[in-house]
Amino acid sequence: MDPLALSEIAEMCGGSTPALHPEVEVTRISKDTRTLEPGELYLAIKGDRFDGNQYIGEAAAKGAAAAIVDDPSAAVPPGFPVIQVRDSVQALGSLAAAWRAQLPLKVVCVSGSNGKTSTKDFTAAVLSSRFRTIKTRGNLNNQIGLPLSILDASRSDAAAVWEAGMNHVGEIAPLAALAAPSVGIITNIGVAHIEHLGSREAIAVEKGMLFEALPAGGTAILPADCDFGSTLAARTRARVIFTGGPDSAIRAEDIRISSEGTGFILVADGESLPVSLRVPGSHMVSNALLAVAAGLALGLSPSECAAGLCEARITGGRLARREVRGVVMLDDTYNANPDSVVAALGVLAQLPCPGRRIAVLGAMGELGAHAAEGYRKVGLAAASSAGVLLAVGAATAPMTAAARGAGLTEVIEVETPEEAAGFLRQFAIEGDLVLVKGSRSSKMEDVIQNF
C-alpha cells in the first residue's frame, strides 16, 4: 500500500475521523500484535477465541502508528490515535475495495480444492518475467486474508496474483468481486471442505462463482481433466482455456521427476521449450501449465513463461526436500485432503530411492461424513506407493485398515507427531525416502522438526 493518511483511511473504511494525528501516514496493516512492526496500522478483530480490541495497548507499545477499533469501550492508551468502526472485518473489506479501485492492475485470481498456493506461486513467477508482480502472502485467501493481500499492493505494481479460498457456501462471489480479476484459474474440484458443502457438485457450484465474476474480455483457465470442466466453462462470459490434455494448446511432454525437481518440455502456442521446476511431482506440472495459460492471456510469450517457471519458488511446506543424516524428507506438511495426499504419495512412488519409501501421514480435516471414504482412498494409495506407512492419530484408523487390506504389511500407528518423530529416529536409515503430510491441525511439521 502506498502511504495513506489516517484521515484517508478513515474515510475509505467508513470509520470516524481520528481525533488525533489525522495526518499520520501508514503503508501496512497488521492484525497480529505478535508480528506487528513499528509504524504499521493495527487492525483489532474479534475472533471466536480472542478479541483484538484487548491488545490495543500492546500494539501501541510495539510502535503501531494507530489502530482500527470496533469496540467503543476498548482501553486506548492516552494520545494513541484510533479509527472507530462498527465492524473491523467489514471496515477492512471496504478499505481494500476502495484501494483496489485505485489500482490499474492486471489481476489473476486462483481458486480450487488443491494446488491454489503452488499455482499462485507459479503464476506470479511467470508474470514477474515481464511485470512488477505482487501475490498473496502465504495463503491469506479468505474474507480477511484477501483484503490484506490487496492492501499489500501499490500503484507501482503492474500485476497481482491472489488466491480465493472458501469452506462454506457464499464465500467466493464476494472475494471475486473484491479482487476484480480479468483472469481466473480453478485448479480442480476435489473434496477439500466437503464437510461444509456436502458434495463435489456443491463445491463446483461455489468455485464456479469465480468464473461468473470474470468480464467478457477476460480468461477462464481449467485443467483439461477437470470433471466439471464443461459445466464450469458454461458459466462464464470469458474465453475458456483448457490446459494439460494431449490435444491442449498448452501441455507438457517428456516429464522427468527427480528428488531435486521436475523437468518437462512446455508446448505452448506452437513452441516447445525446456522447463525445470524446483519441486517434484506431475501434479506440479499441471499447476505450472495453468500459470503459463495466465501468462499468455496477459500478453507474455511462451519463452517468458518458461523462464518464469524456472525461477519459481514454492511456498514452504509443499514437497520441500530436506536431508537429515542421509534420510531424505519430503516436507508436504502445509495442509492435506484425500486428493492432495494421493498426489503426494504419487511423488513418493516416482522418486528414485535406494532405501525404503516411508509415508508418515496425519489426520485430514473438514471431511465430515466423507472422512472414512477419504481415509480409505489414501490407505489404498499408500499401499501401492510406500513400503512403510506410519499413521499419526486415531482418526487415521480407516486409512491403516485399508492399507493392510491392500497388502501393506509394515503399518505402524502412533498417537502424536512427537511419537512419530521418535519412531523415525530409530527406524529410518540412510537412503530412505520419507513423505510427511497432514492437515494443519495435525501439526505434522513437528515430525520433521523433531526428527
Q: Lay out the sheet containing 327-332: strands in order across.
A: 320-324, 327-332, 433-437, 357-361, 388-392, 411-414
Tell the burial category of 253 from Cβ atoms under 10 Å away from its Cβ (0-12, 13-18, 19+).
exposed
Q: What's the confidence (pLDDT) of residue 193?
A: 65
Query: How many Cα atoms occupy the beta-carbon half-sphere of 27 within 13 Å?
Result: 8
Q: What's the confidence (pLDDT) of residue 138?
A: 75
Q: Which residue has the cell 465492524?
A: 87
Q: With 80 as the cut, is the pLDDT of residue 15 above it?
A: yes
226-240 confidence digits (pLDDT tens): 999 999 999 999 999
Measure the CA–CA gap between 279 and 185, rounded to whole angstroms.
21
Measure the CA–CA gap between 100 and 154, rounded to whole angstroms.
10
Q: What's the confidence (pLDDT) of residue 105?
A: 96
Tell the burial category of 3 from Cβ atoms under 10 Å away from its Cβ (0-12, 13-18, 19+).
exposed
Phi, psi of 97 (to 5 degrees): -65, -40
Q: What percent of the chain has pLDDT over 70?
A: 98
Highest mean pLDDT among 132-141, 302-311, 317-326: 302-311
Mean predicted lDDT score pLDDT of the chain: 94
Q: With 80 as the cut, is the pLDDT of residue 180 above it?
A: yes
Q: With 90 as the cut, is the pLDDT of residue 77 above it?
A: yes
**For range 253-267, the mean pLDDT:** 93
Answer left, alpha or beta for residue 368, where phi above 0 means left and psi between -120 and 50 means alpha.
Answer: left
DSSP 207-266: HTHHHHTS-TTSEEEEETT-TTHHHHHTT-SSEEEEESSTT-SEEEEEEEEETTEEEEEE
Q: With 70 as the cut, is the pLDDT of residue 20 above it?
A: no
- The predicted model scores a pTM of 0.88
Q: What's the confidence (pLDDT) of residue 49?
A: 85
Q: What's the confidence (pLDDT) of residue 264?
A: 98
Phi, psi of 222 (to 5 degrees): -140, 150
**For range 309-332, the mean pLDDT:** 90
Measure the CA–CA gap between 56 and 301, rounded to whole angstroms.
49
Q: With 80 as the cut, is the pLDDT of residue 146 above it?
A: yes
**What pLDDT band is residue 18 in, cutting at 50, 70 and 90?**
low
Quick check: helix, strand or coil at residue 385?
helix
Domains, the chain, with CATH or none? 4-86 (3.40.1390.10), 103-311 (3.40.1190.10), 320-449 (3.90.190.20)
Q: What's the confidence (pLDDT) of residue 200?
A: 87
Q: With 90 as the cut, is the pLDDT of residue 13 above it?
A: yes
323-341 confidence digits (pLDDT tens): 999 999 999 998 899 999 9
Indicate the length of the chain as a whole number. Answer: 451
DSSP 45-71: -B-SS-BGGGGHHHHHHTT-SEEEE--
**For range 182-197, the mean pLDDT:** 84
Residue burial 287-307, b: 16+ Cβ < 10 Å; e: rest: bbbbbbbbbbbbebbbebbbb
356-409 confidence digits (pLDDT tens): 999 999 999 888 888 999 999 999 999 999 999 999 999 999 999 999 999 999
Reduced DSSP (H G I as helix, E B as strand, rest coil) percent helix, strand, coil of the chain, to 5: 35, 20, 40
Q: What's the confidence (pLDDT) of residue 99?
A: 97
Whole-angstrom CA distances from 41 to 30, 90, 197, 294 are 6, 16, 36, 34
**For range 144-156, the mean pLDDT:** 95
